[in-house]
Amino acid sequence: MRALLLRRLATALPTLAIVLILSFLLMRLAPGGPFDGERPLDPATRAALTSAYGLDQPLPTQIAIYVGRIARGDFGPSLVYRDFTVTDLVAQGLPVSLTLGALAMLLALALGLGIGLLAAGRAGSRTDHALMLAMTLLTALPTFVTGPLLVLVFALLLGVLPVSGLESPRYLVLPVVALALPVAGAIAKLARAGLAEVLTQDHIRTARARGLAPWRVLVVHALRPALVPVASYAGPAAAGLLTGAVVIETVFALPGLGRYFVQGALNRDYPLVLAVVTIYAALIILFNLFADLLYGWLDPRARG
């Protein structure tokens, strides 16, 4: 386990640096700039702003300055939100995004594992087939479809939940559900497939021969080894929930990091976009590391 952890950590920093440099170059190569508005600036004012923010420096120099700032935990000034630094904006938006992603992941795990166990307990029945068909449909529906559908049903037709904003915990219900449903469908299918394989093994037959209750066989003896494919999916799924929250935060007008990312990209706010990309990349690497460690705990043969 320790060797696995060291190998993953040895690749994390170079990977993060590559992502940061490529994102920096892509932002600079994109057409437009942070000072392009409806009313064009006069050349003197544009030159002064470009110089003040260091945008007149050569690209290698700009990259070196930015990487140095990141190493000190400083994301620099925002080019659009003049009254805030990028660190201020990240401090405002990141807790919302992390809360949204964590709640969605917990809900996806609860639904997915519960439905997977129910389907496996009734393998081959109509219930099993109906549940797996429903999970396949959930997996195929993207969040920008499920989100508006949930708003239409629960907010506009039934009027039981709010549509947008974040004035109370009730405002998180629809975004969390919309974000969790596709992941829950995938987890249910993986759990069902893993249980189908484990339930044919000898130690399960032995447990059944001892007269143990079916639910005890499923939960105590079959569930842990069946979670190996779920663990492999958990890291990318958690990362997908965080990055997928960009759409959900926009649809539900949540003040999260994803919304700042969209606004920063539209306004060519280079420091803000790069800060969000850096944080997302670091979290994705962290989630994948956690998934590898969980995989090694569930399957000792994979520890190496």
23 domain-assigned: no
Residues of the chain with pLDDT under 50: 302-303
| Residue 244 confidence (pLDDT) | 66
pTM above 0.85, yes or no: no
220 domain-assigned: yes
| Residue 167 confidence (pLDDT) | 83
Query: The CATH number of the domain where 115 resides is what?
Result: 1.10.3720.10
Domain extent at residue 198: 86-302
| Residue 301 confidence (pLDDT) | 53
| Residue 185 confidence (pLDDT) | 92
Distance CA 49, CA 80 (A): 12
Query: What is the tally of structural domains in the chain?
Result: 1
41 domain-assigned: no
Beta-bridge partners for 77: 85
User: Which residue in 109, 106, 128, 108 sits closest to 118, CA to CA?
Assistant: 128
| Residue 33 confidence (pLDDT) | 64
| Residue 247 confidence (pLDDT) | 80
100 domain-assigned: yes
